[in-house]
């Protein structure tokens, strides 16, 4: 386990911070510790929330004190064998047609590629899910090819449709709900990322990987209709333990 520091977050949460940047190795450490703490089932510990570079551990101070929790974290991190987290590999359909990709042509011009080349670059990557956040089930996936890394839009949109596939900086993401957004919209996916009727409401999890499969506008509309009726079924491959 690499070096970390512990920071209080109010009187009911502890932050375990592994670094100050977005880095796959740091995120792997975060996810590995998350798995260990979940498996430890420590009395008084509630939600354990991973981010890009840190882990928030919520706890009940009447059950476990901060000193006791810190001792438990140290004990878990000192375990010799790092078992890692179990990840799943997803292939998600994505439509890059300009009709549902408001910024595709502009982004392609900015990075000196044709729209087709941009789609090829974006869909050729196997993305790592660093964390969920902002909206329920929204996955922050990295890393986009260096030539596609752009700052956020100078003027955010007041509203984008649910399912919008976007890029900003080194990240790409599907926005599960209609929302304001300052990212560049380059496509749309019919996949439902958050469903409270599922045993696990979020479809994706930190540590999973995602590959986007380009589909035509007609195929997207057919898949979106299936998703709306609950008939769109997706499967994933389990990749085993990731360090």
What does the H/E/C string look like for 161-228?
CCCEEEEEECEEEEECCCEEECCEEEEECCCCCECCCCCCCECCCCCCEEEEEEECHHHHHHHHHHHH
Write out the residue limits of the CATH 3.30.1360.40 domain(s) in the chain. Answer: 5-84
Q: What is the pLDDT of residues 114-154, one digit of tens each?
A: 999 999 999 999 999 999 999 999 999 999 999 999 999 99
What is the pLDDT averaged over residues 202-220?
96
pLDDT surpassing 50 at residue 14: yes
Query: What architecture does CATH give domain 86-238?
Result: Beta Barrel (2.40)
Q: CB within 8 A of 234, min separation 6: which ones?
A: 90, 92, 191, 203
Q: Which two tokens stand for residue 21?
A: 């940047």
Query: Residue 241 — very low, low, confident or very high, per pLDDT cuts 50/70/90?
Result: very low
DSSP conformation class of 7 = E
CATH, range 5-84 = 3.30.1360.40
The CA-based diameter of the chain, rounded to the nearest angstrom, is 60
pLDDT surpassing 70 at residue 215: yes
Query: Residue 83 — very low, low, confident or very high, per pLDDT cuts 50/70/90?
Result: low
Query: Residue 230 — very low, low, confident or very high, per pLDDT cuts 50/70/90?
Result: confident
| Side-chain half-sphere CA neighbours of 199 within 13 A | 0
| Cα torsion through 216, 219, 225, 228, rounded to 10 | -70
pLDDT surpassing 50 at residue 169: yes
Pairing of β 85-95 and β 209-215: parallel
Contact between residue 7 and residue 17 where contact means Cβ atoms under 8 Å apart:
yes
pLDDT surpassing 80 at residue 85: no
Write out the residue limits of the CATH 2.40.100.10 domain(s) in the chain. Answer: 86-238
């Amino acid at each position: 386990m690499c070096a970390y520091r512990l920071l209080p977050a109010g009187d009911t949460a502890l932050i375990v911070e592994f670094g100050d940047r977005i880095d796959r190795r740091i995120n792997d450490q975060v996810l590995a510790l998350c798995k260990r703490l979940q498996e430890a089932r420590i009395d008084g510990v509630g939600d354990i929330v991973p981010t890009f570079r840190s882990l928030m551990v919520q706890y009940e101070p009447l059950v476990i004190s901060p000193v006791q929790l810190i001792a438990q974290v140290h004990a878990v991190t000192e375990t010799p064998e790092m078992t890692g987290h179990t990840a799943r590999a997803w292939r998600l359909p994505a439509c890059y047609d300009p009709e549902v990709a408001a910024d595709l042509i502009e982004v392609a011009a900015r990075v000196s590629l044709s729209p087709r080349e941009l789609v090829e670059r974006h869909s050729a990557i196997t993305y790592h899910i660093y964390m969920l956040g902002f909206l329920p089930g929204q996955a922050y996936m990295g890393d986009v090819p260096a030539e596609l890394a752009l700052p956020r839009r100078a003027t955010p949109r007041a509203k984008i449709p649910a399912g919008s596939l976007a890029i900003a900086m080194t990240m790409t993401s599907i926005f599960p709900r209609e929302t304001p957004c300052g990212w560049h919209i380059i496509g749309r996916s019919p996949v439902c990322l958050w469903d409270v009727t599922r045993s696990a409401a979020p479809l994706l999890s930190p540590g999973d990987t995602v590959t986007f499969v380009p589909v035509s506008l007609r195929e997207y509309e057919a898949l979106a209709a299936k998703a709306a009726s609950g008939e769109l079924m997706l499967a994933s491959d389990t990749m085993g333990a990731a360090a």
